[in-house]
Each structure stands twice: as C-alpha cells, then as structure tokens.
Amino acid sequence: MFNRPNPNGKKPETLDATFSYPDSQKIAPARIDSTSPRTAMITDQVEIKGTMAFDGALEFNGNFEGEIISEGTLTIGSEAVIKAEIQAAKVIIRGKVQGNIIATDSVEVCDQAELFGDVRSAKFILSEAATFRGRSDPIEGKAAAPEFSPVFRRLSPKSK
C-alpha cells in the first residue's frame, strides 16, 4: 500500500499495488543439504596474495600466492595457478601448483594437473596424465623397504 500526496491539499490517495512474477522466477532456491559439509568456491576472476585459512571444503579456481592452511578439503580447479605452501587434510589438484604440500589425509593430482614441489601425505595419488616434479614422503615418516632376500633365495636355481 502506498500513499501519494495530492497537490490540491486534499487527503492523500491510497494506492494498492500488486506485483506478479513470471513462473520462471518462482523456482525454489537451492538448498544446501545440512548433512553435507560446508563448501565455498573462489572463481577464476580472483587473485589473492597472503595467508588463507579456512574450515570445511573450498574449491579455488583463481590465482594465489602465499600460504594455505586448512583442516578441510582444498580442491584446486583446472583454471587455478597456485604458488604456495599448503597444509590441509585433503588436497585435490586439477590446475597448477608450485610449492610444498602437507596433507594429513591425501593428495590427489588429477589428469592434466601440474605439481612442482614436495608432498608429505598419508596417501598420494598421481594420475598418469599429470605432471609431478618433486619428492613424496609418507606423513608418518619414511617407510621401511621390504625384505626381499627370502624371496630371492627361493627363486634362485639350486646348486648342483
């Protein structure tokens, strides 16, 4: 309801207004499933320098230089260019990363992704079509090499 002043000094007129929207705009808004973890996304239009810390899941598609710290999942999109030291629970790389990564859960380097740096993680997954130049170590420390000598003794021909 709107009041419009009347220039003749009489009592203002009251106007009733009704708004209608086309059915195409009455689509229910998307809802985030309350059982799923929070997820955020940074587009390829963003460039950040400094330290970024977050909780939950983040998909990053822009340019970043600095340090990334999280207890959640960092997904580096195919358009992303990252020059950073990364500490997170899980890191999924689809773009380009230069820097060392420490992940308590896993690091996955997908097809066409590039990683130049060292990785310390409980699990390291490297796609055949990915580029990786660096070192990889298990997060709990160096794994002991298995003992092969008993196997080689069984396979060697017996002396006559």
The alpha carbon torsion through 99, 130, 92, 140 (nearest 10 deg) reads: -70
What DSSP element (H or E) covers 154?
Answer: helix 149-155
| Alpha carbon 24 to its chain's center | 33
Q: What is the pTM of this model?
A: 0.66
Which residue is associated with the tokens 């017996």? Answer: 158
One digit per residue, the tens of pLDDT, for the chain of length 160 reads 445 555 565 555 554 545 444 554 444 433 333 344 567 888 888 899 999 998 889 999 999 999 999 999 999 999 999 999 999 999 999 999 999 999 999 999 999 999 999 999 999 999 999 999 999 998 875 445 555 555 555 555 655 5
d(CA 125, CA 109) in angstroms, rounded, equals 6
